[in-house]
A = this chain, B = another copy of it.
Amino acid sequence: MGFQERKRQILKLLDKQESMEVQEIADALGISAITIRRDLQQLSEEELLIRTHGGAMKAPPKSPFTAFADKENVAVARKKQIGKLAATLVKPGDTIFMDCGSTVFTMCPHLKHITPLRIITNSLPIVAAFMEVEDIHVNLIGGELDKQRKAIHGERAVKHIESYHAAKAFIGADGLSARNGLTAFSETEAGISRAMIASANAVYLLCDSTKIGKDSYLKFAPLSDITALVTDPELPATQAAALKKKELKIYS
């Protein structure tokens, strides 16, 4: 068994075990502890795991192109549910806006068979997701690359969106409340969302229940701007009631 192969094995073991001791790994692979130590050193230099005294721990998930940053990894299951549900609102032949949030991204796997479809987006992970899909046409919004969010932002991007029209827009938000409507962390992202809202017939807000009833710092759109909220079933009844009172339609 070669060097690289062993590295893979170690990582695979760690994937299940969360953390392991040197001797434990050595026994599992039938190889001397000193060699395992060398491997661990290299792997930790590559930041594929965390070296500890006597062993190693699983590395915090790295973000390649398609992955999202750490903060996004909360409530993954909930987001996936939302993505699946939101995808049912899309029909073959639609033209849709999709913004760069991680919740919106979870729609992608469910969209692949709703063809033909035209997607206008500023999100690079979304572009990557449809790279191999024949009948989905992608229009990528141009502008400044935001490396952290893996998306395109800026004034030019807003202009770009304004020159298009779509039947439906799927957007995210960092907070949603009956009182303050849609709120966001980031000014630039909010600008994109606003532009999409303005250019779409129907606007669907994808927002998991943990964000509902909470406000982020920037108000960027009133509740009346959105056609419906798509969320998960764990939305507390009191929150649901408050939103319905404002005549907001809710899918969950």
Interfacial residues, chain A to chain B (CB-CB below 8 A):
2-5, 8, 18-19, 21, 50, 52-55, 57, 63-66, 124, 127-128, 131-132, 137-145, 147, 150, 152, 156-157, 160, 163
Contacts and interface: CB of A to CB of B under 8 A. Distances in A.
A63 B64 contact: yes
Contacts of A63: 64-66, 128
Nearest to A52: B4
Nearest to A5: B19
Nearest to A132: B64
Given A131-B147, A142-B152, A5 B65 contact: no
* Interface of A, helix, strand, loop or mixed by DSSP: mixed
Contacts of A139: 142-145
Given A4-B57, A55-B5, A152-B140, A65 B131 contact: yes
A57 B8 contact: yes
Given A140-B143, A143-B142, A152-B142, A55 B2 contact: yes
Given A63-B128, A142-B157, A142-B160, 14 more contacts: A2-B54, A3-B53, A4-B52, A4-B57, A5-B52, A8-B18, A8-B57, A65-B128, A65-B131, A124-B124, A131-B150, A138-B144, A141-B142, A156-B163
Contacts of A18: 8
A142 B142 contact: yes
A145 B163 CA distance: 17
Contacts of A5: 19, 52, 55, 57
A127 B142 contact: no
